[in-house]
Amino acid sequence: MGLRDGDGWVDCDCGFRHWGRFGAAGLLLVRRDTPQPQVLLQLRAEWTHGGGTWALPGGAKDSHEDSVTAALREAHEEMGIEESALTVKHIFSDNHGPWSYDTVIAHTMSDAGAHIANPESTETKWSSIEEVETLNLHPGLKQSWVALKPLTADSLKN
Ligand SMILES: [Zn+2]
């Protein structure tokens, strides 16, 4: 394992503190081998920041990582996602200036090996695109889903 130097808070221009000295990244994985496309969510453990809410796998980027590398590393650590099982389609950057959260939209034709792989989550779920907004979402995902929902739909058009 390489140097992990991304852990830490950033005091952002938006007035909030965000996790990840070099920003953060997450994976929005879309499963296409089911009758309807489904997206992968994890229920965050109660002891974590935003505990008890549904979120994407993700976390702080390290200084040497691009967003795809960080998102896939976090998705593997948290949910056992196999990089070889997915194809990256789009990156949505929620850019605050001093801090950004990049969401990597990727497709898979299997369950990609998804399971609870570390104590940060207590449940995993494949949810239809329409169902996502009905769930108790992590505040960060709730805010970005407005942009991510149409981008996810667009990614399925080809
Ligand atoms: Zn901010």
Task: Please give the CATH number for the structural domain made up of 9-155.
Answer: 3.90.79.10
For residue 87, the Cα-to-chain-centroid distance in whole angstroms is: 15
Does residue 2 register a pLDDT over 80? Answer: no
| 143-154 pLDDT, tens digit each | 999 999 999 999
Interval between CA 80 and ligand 1 midpoint (Å): 29
Q: What is the pTM for the complete model shown? A: 0.93
Distance 95 CA to ligand 1 centre (A): 8
Q: How far is the CA of 23 from the centre of ligand 1 (A)?
A: 10
pLDDT per residue as tens digits for the range 91-113: 999 999 999 999 999 999 999 99
What are 19-75's pLDDT values in tens digits? 999 999 999 999 999 999 999 999 999 888 788 999 999 999 999 999 999 999 999
Res 88: pLDDT: 98
Report phi then psi at 149, rounded to 5: -60, -55
Residues in the chain: 158
Q: How far is the CA of 110 from the centre of ligand 1 (A)?
A: 35
CA of 11 to the centre of ligand 1 (A): 8
* Cα–ligand 1 centroid distance for 93 (angstroms): 12
User: What is the whole-number distance in angstroms between the Cα of residue 15 and the centre of ligand 1?
Assistant: 6
φ, ψ of residue 43 to 5 degrees: the values are -90, 120
Domain ranges of the chain: 9-155
CA of 38 to the centre of ligand 1 (A): 29
Q: What H or E segment, with its residue span, contains residue 107?
A: strand 100-108
